[in-house]
Chain A
């Protein structure tokens, strides 16, 4: 029993893209641990085409596949057979096995597949084949690059020069092939119900991942431009499978995020969050990793405890920082930033999180305002908070917030500077009456906008 060929034949009979794509998935499965081997042993290099042809003629004799198209499928699966030979070497004779070989052969297969669509009439129901071939192209490229760079570092162990060059040569090559697949989907002129346009976001996501990997995030913008130029011809976003859309929105959000455009970033990330599958733990974490800093910058609001407590990773990432911001603990904030600096930088969230210090300071000064209590009022009037506060009180609060010891001096000038900064940023409303050493805050629940007082 040769599962791969059965899946191919049944897929063609039933017009099931999922089955043909399953056939093209180059892995053994728990239920079929000999999946690859049985296909490889089915024939040899000289006869594989003929063998596949005979098999298909028998298995789908009654289904008429146009001759050219049939030939293209046979070529495709012959190329597939070759890749599997390369893959099996890792078990048989590991010294002769090579991911570079696997990649090169898989790239040839990818090109045959592209030609199948552009020249030989592969139909859009088989589009999952593009997904699986694109997916493994990226995987094999990354293994090939890792293999090549391991060999280089052995060969030129002490040489410093050119360490970066060619480090991701295969991944870059993969990106070019994936780009052709993307174009193949985007520019399909067939009516929507039979169009490859349905594959465009999946391919975009694969390219995004690839560009992120080779640190070429800038190239992602070309894709976004191409997509928006075709926006009118594409189906509505909501009509695509959610897995395509959630990933797409996540990547677009991250692209804006890296541009420090946190407003746009939050919109896309929030969209991704809302549609994300609730059991997709890791993806939910990744979305929140960027959504939380965005929200902090945009609305000066923290995630609530329940949200963080759902995930140990998010707890570790954000908990102490959020607690310090909430309490106005500047010293704790600085300590938390330093402690996780490496992690924050690696995830590229350091910059927006750093802005949380202003919020911590705002909360500290807000506590001074609350501690100030209310003005004496005549009977029957609603109490009004004390809005004239000596700068010295803010200075004292700053000593508390920074855990200043008795030797540390805090200048009034410095405090005034911090206060005017917060006022300038709209986090506080009021003015400094210098000659009296007072802050005069806005009345009527607007002294600290958005915080209820």
Chain B
């Protein structure tokens, strides 16, 4: 029973990435000409994103911590260790 369940899960997992395959991508991935030659500072990416701080820290994930997931993982790890013990 548990075996077929995990089989199903695997089947799901292998199907998922196919669904996620990028939709239609344009043939042409060239850098486009900008519609205008120049623009003021306040229309730049920098200006629109830098409300909090001047650099682009806001682009990147700052923390790796995920407290909810940490608890789950802790349980998972214990179970896995038990499995190894019993199989010995």
Contact = CB atoms under 8 A, between A and B. Distances in A.
A274 B21 contact: no
Nearest to A289: B29
B19 to A, nearest CB: 10
A347 B29 CA distance: 9
B70 A371 contact: yes
A188 B61 CA distance: 47
Interface string B1-37: 0000010000001100110111101000111111011
B60 A340 contact: no
A286 interface: yes
A31 interface: no
B26 to A, nearest CB: 8
Given A304-B59, A452-B63, A396 B84 contact: yes
Nearest to B81: A396
Most buried by B among A274, A279, A320, A332: A274
B64 A270 contact: no
Contact of A393 (B14, B33, B77): B77
Given A243-B38, A301-B60, A371-B74, A278 B43 contact: yes
A274 B32 contact: no
Contacts, number: 146
B73 to A, nearest CB: 5
A363 B18 contact: no
B77 A316 contact: no
A399 B76 CA distance: 10
Interface in B42-67: 43-48, 56, 58-66
A13 interface: no
Contact of A326 (B44, B46, B61): B61
Interface stretch (A171-179, A246-254, A378-386): A246-254
A243 B34 contact: yes
A252 to B, nearest CB: 12
Contacts of B37: 241, 243-244
A44 interface: no
A370 B48 contact: no
Given A243-B37, A280-B34, A405-B6, A286 B61 contact: no
Q: From DSSP, what is the main secondary structure of chain A's interface residues? A: helix
A316 B33 CA distance: 24
A363 B61 CA distance: 14
Interface size, A (range):
35 or more
B77 A371 contact: yes
Given A284-B45, A367-B70, A243 B22 contact: no
Given A243-B38, A275-B45, A282-B32, A299 B60 contact: yes
Contact of B25 (A243, A336, A343, A392): A343
A303 interface: yes
Contacts of A405: 6
B57 to A, nearest CB: 9
Contact of A209 (B31, B39, B77, B81): B31
Given A283-B31, A367-B70, A273 B45 contact: yes
A339 B44 contact: no
A250 B21 CA distance: 26
Most buried by B among A366, A370, A392: A370
A245 B13 CA distance: 44
Contact of A317 (B22, B34, B65): B22
A115 interface: no
A277 B17 contact: no
Contacts of B62: 301, 304
Given A280-B32, A303-B59, A397 B22 contact: no
A393 B83 CA distance: 12
A335 interface: yes
A399 B23 contact: no
A143 interface: no
A400 B64 contact: no
Interface string A284-308: 1010000000010001011111110
A399 B64 contact: no
B80 to A, nearest CB: 4
Nearest to B82: A396
Given A275-B45, A343-B22, A209 B60 contact: no
A243 B40 CA distance: 11
Interface string A258-288: 0000000000001001111111101110100
Given A339-B21, A452-B63, 12 more contacts: A282-B32, A301-B60, A302-B61, A304-B61, A304-B62, A307-B60, A343-B25, A367-B73, A370-B65, A399-B80, A400-B77, A451-B64
Interface of B: 6, 13-14, 17-18, 20-23, 25, 29-34, 36-39, 43-48, 56, 58-66, 69-70, 73-74, 76-77, 80-81, 83-84, 87
15 contacts: A135-B33, A242-B34, A273-B56, A283-B32, A302-B60, A303-B59, A307-B60, A316-B20, A335-B14, A339-B20, A363-B64, A392-B81, A396-B77, A396-B81, A406-B83
